[in-house]
Amino acid sequence: MSKKEEYADDDEIDLKEIFRTLSRYKYFIIFCMILFGILASVVAYFKPNIYQTSMTLEIGILGSISGGNDIVSKAISASSKIKPDTEIEILKSRTLMVEAVKSVDFSHRYYVTYRMKKTEIYEKDSPFDINLTKGFGKEFKVLPYDKEHYRLENKSLNINYIYKYGKEIKDDNFVFTLTLKKDRKIHDNEKYSFEVMDFDDCVSLAQEGLKVKVSGKYTTIIAISKSGKLKERLPKIVNALASAYIKRNIEKRTREASKTLSFVETEIDKIKDELKKSSIKLENFKKNIKTVNFNTKSDIVMKRLGDMEIELSKLNIEISMVESLYSRVKLGKKIESILINGLFNDNINPLTNIIDILQKYRIKLETLRIDYTKDYPEVIKLQKEIKETQNLFKSMVRNFRKNLLDRKKILVKSIKREQKLVDKLAEDEQIYHKLERKFKLNEKIYSYLLEKKASSLIAKAATVSRNRILDKARSSYKSAPNRNLITAVGIFLGFIVGAMIAFIRGFIDDTIKNIDHIKKETDAIILGIVPSVKDMDKNERKNLMVFDYPRSSFSESFRNIRSNLKFMMNDTSSKVLTITSTISGEGKTLISSNLAGIISLTKKKVILINLDMRKPTLHLKFNLPNNKGISSVLSGYESLKEVIQVTSNPYLDIISSGAIPPNPSELIHSKKMEEIIEELKKKYDIVMLDTPPSGLVTDAQLLMRMSDSVIYVIRANYAKQGFLKNIDILSRDKSISGFSIILNAVDDKDTGYGYGYGYY
């Protein structure tokens, strides 16, 4: 398999090429890193400090009393069930933040601009106080003027006036008084400004950076944290929010418990009067008949009837409560604001769960409405869920009411059946049992209502201490920005951007850069590589560096080429060596002159002929005239002997191009050209031909076929990779002998293999 095929089959990532690209554009990448690092540092400098504070809140600290089956335990248990998710939404709600902001006034904002950086400062650190009654939400700049006056600026209001400290300023857009604090002054290098925000903006700003979450998976401890620009303000807001939450919870449950207590107390007053009347009637009847000894059978019937009537009375109380709830639902009262805990038996607890869900939905809906309209998909979806849940609640209340009424019907029928048995008793006995039954009924109901009252009182008291603050928010700590990290990220991004641009430029750049590019397209022999020489175009005479700088890497590369060329050429006879390139500017004359020079140092007679008669430059390398040359000989104006010029090296002669002829191609293709070469071969060991570019004219290809060896010069980072296709065709041409390539002007980072080796 050829080297070209080996490179074609190699699909792995060329790490060497990646590092070459990075090395080639290393100064550009470093520039990008420095630029991005500076930009990141500027961004980090102007980014305001962000502080954070936190606190913890324990909710539902009163659980059900273990093993308690009495009415007190149930009352406490019924009112102590709290779901953390619902409470989190309440704490994040705007409604609660409104209550918190009312207790903490932070509408005044003060700023100072120092070294181009604007920073908010605490009210106590401001050198002046503001008392503003009109002009909320507008920022004013305050600049020092003298000890008693200041300059006020506001571009939007076209304000730029001087006012006196402590004097009220009245304008159509604002009214305020600015007072300089005692022993304070505004420095010339500091620019102050202030803004007094309206209440709604204060609430919105207070909600920014607020985070509420459960501390653990199985805990009822809620962590509240807030971030902001002014560290002194954060603890006040968080603590005010927690206090507002506890206060709101107490007020809501106390209000609902008071409604229940009021209902129970009203019923107690009614039953108390009835109990007193029934007691008097029973005592009077006993005095009148002077005996109360009736048979046992009647006692049993009357006891059973009395129990039923007591049960009916309790049922009527529950029905009254349900009817009250049912009427509130029918009137369209918000279901989520109804308190059920403590009113009914355990079988109504599912209603409590639904109310909890509705509360959570309602809070989420209020939060969404702050930022979105009613047509927002999430708002529409949530409203639909709320409506479906409300309908479910109404249906459950109707079913519960129906069940109570059905129980009442069954109980009334049973009472009527027992009443018929009572009617068969003697008249005095009936009257006595009736009075006794009524007295006992009122007594039982009175006791039952007293228990309900106690239950309501305890439930009301239980709401006071069910939530508490575990750890108050104290000092704030700086959480952002990490300026060192921002700068480091900027530098890293600079490297990424620089590398990406480098790779893009490398991808777009289709020039040949190293021998690997050549090997991928052709199997031609690579005779050697020549490093680039800085400033060589500024002083053409220094191009013959093998004489001027014999110890340079440039000269060393030509010694390696000379050694490699020795193995290629038969050393027994004179040889014709053609040097060409695809286009001009690839260093063909540079290579031919220095190669001729390095070979002549081995005491071989070398003659170098400049056949590039269109753009002659060879004479400049040797500081020789060009008034006559090969064109003169080919045209018949001069003899060959007359145009040969000697150089400082006795083994090296040259023939310059001479005057530029009108027909250089015809002259090169003439029989005379072959005769000249044959004549020179008799006198010189090496006849070296510096030809025109082969990609522009056909002159070079004729001279290649007349030569024993051909050196094709390719300039790195200049010649296009597309040139290699034609070079590969020439290397396979059987009529061209000894075809090889020299890669010229290679950067040190792209040399790859060094100068000490040939490439076959």
Residue where the block lists tokens 């060596």: 577
Residue where the block lists tokens 């409590």: 352
Give the whole-angstrom CA distance, residue 278 versus residue 280. 6
Burial class for 293, CB neighbours closer than 10 Å (0-12, 13-18, 19+): exposed
Residue where the block lists tokens 């006795």: 650
Radius of gyration from C-alpha coordinates of the chain? 53
Q: Which amino acid is at 441?
A: L
Residues 358/389, Cβ–Cβ less than 8 Å = yes
Nearest C-alpha neighbor of 735 from the set 515, 578, 501? 578
Three-state DSSP class for residue 659: coil
- List all residues 6 or more positions away from 293 whose beta carbon is below 8 Å from its beta carbon: none
Burial class for 578, CB neighbours closer than 10 Å (0-12, 13-18, 19+): buried
Give the whole-angstrom CA distance, residue 624 versus residue 657. 12
Sheet with 739-746, strands from edge to edge, namely 525-531, 739-746, 709-715, 575-581, 686-690, 606-610, 652-655, 645-646
Residue 288 Cα to chain centre, angstroms: 94
Query: What confidence score (pLDDT) does residue 516 get?
Result: 86
Nearest C-alpha neighbor of 150 from the set 129, 171, 120? 129
- List all residues 6 or more positions away from 551 whose beta carbon is below 8 Å from its beta carbon: none
Residues 611/689, Cβ–Cβ less than 8 Å = yes
Give the whole-angstrom CA distance, residue 598 versus residue 602. 7
Give the whole-angstrom CA distance, residue 441 versus residue 429. 18
Residues 511/718, Cβ–Cβ less than 8 Å = yes
For the chain, the domains span 3-47+481-508, 72-242, 250-468, 515-750
Q: Which amino acid is at 142?
A: V
Give the whole-angstrom CA distance, residue 249 versus residue 232. 27
Query: What confidence score (pLDDT) does residue 541 get?
Result: 44
Residue 238 Cα to chain centre, angstroms: 27
C-alpha distance from residue 510 to each of 27, 277, 505, 522 (Å): 21, 115, 9, 16
Give the whole-angstrom CA distance, residue 11 versus residue 28. 29
Give the whole-angstrom CA distance, residue 634 versus residue 739. 27
Angle, helix 427-462 to helix 377-423, in steps of 10 degrees:
160
Nearest C-alpha neighbor of 622 from the set 607, 642, 639? 607
C-alpha distance from residue 758 to each of 85, 517, 566, 741 (Å): 78, 17, 11, 11
In what helix (H) or strand (E) does residue 607 lie, and over which residues does it extend?
strand 606-610
> First-to-last CA distance in the chain?
14
Query: What confidence score (pLDDT) does residue 311 get?
Result: 82
Three-state DSSP class for residue 751: coil
Give the whole-angstrom CA distance, residue 528 versus residue 550. 18
DSSP 511: B
Give the whole-angstrom CA distance, residue 582 versus residue 196. 77
Give the whole-angstrom CA distance, residue 646 versus residue 633. 17
Nearest C-alpha neighbor of 252 from the set 463, 62, 455? 463
Q: Which residues of the chain have pLDDT under 70?
A: 1-13, 61-83, 253, 255-257, 259-261, 282, 285-302, 328-350, 421-437, 456, 458-466, 534-543, 570-574, 696, 748-760
Burial class for 457, CB neighbours closer than 10 Å (0-12, 13-18, 19+): middle
In what helix (H) or strand (E) does residue 485 lie, and over which residues does it extend?
helix 483-508
Homologous superfamily of the 515-750 domain (CATH): P-loop containing nucleotide triphosphate hydrolases (3.40.50.300)
695-726 per-position pLDDT tens digit? 767 778 889 999 999 999 999 989 998 899 99
Nearest C-alpha neighbor of 221 from the set 475, 471, 473, 477? 471
DSSP 522: -
DSSP 759: B
C-alpha distance from residue 543 to each of 583, 597, 623, 655, 686 (Å): 19, 11, 11, 18, 21
Give the whole-angstrom CA distance, residue 634 versus residue 664. 9
Cα 743–Cα 576–Cα 644 angle in degrees, nearest 5: 105
Q: Are strands 739-746 and 645-646 parallel, antiparallel or unpaired?
A: unpaired
Residues 546/601, Cβ–Cβ less than 8 Å = yes
What is the pTM assigned to this prediction?
0.60
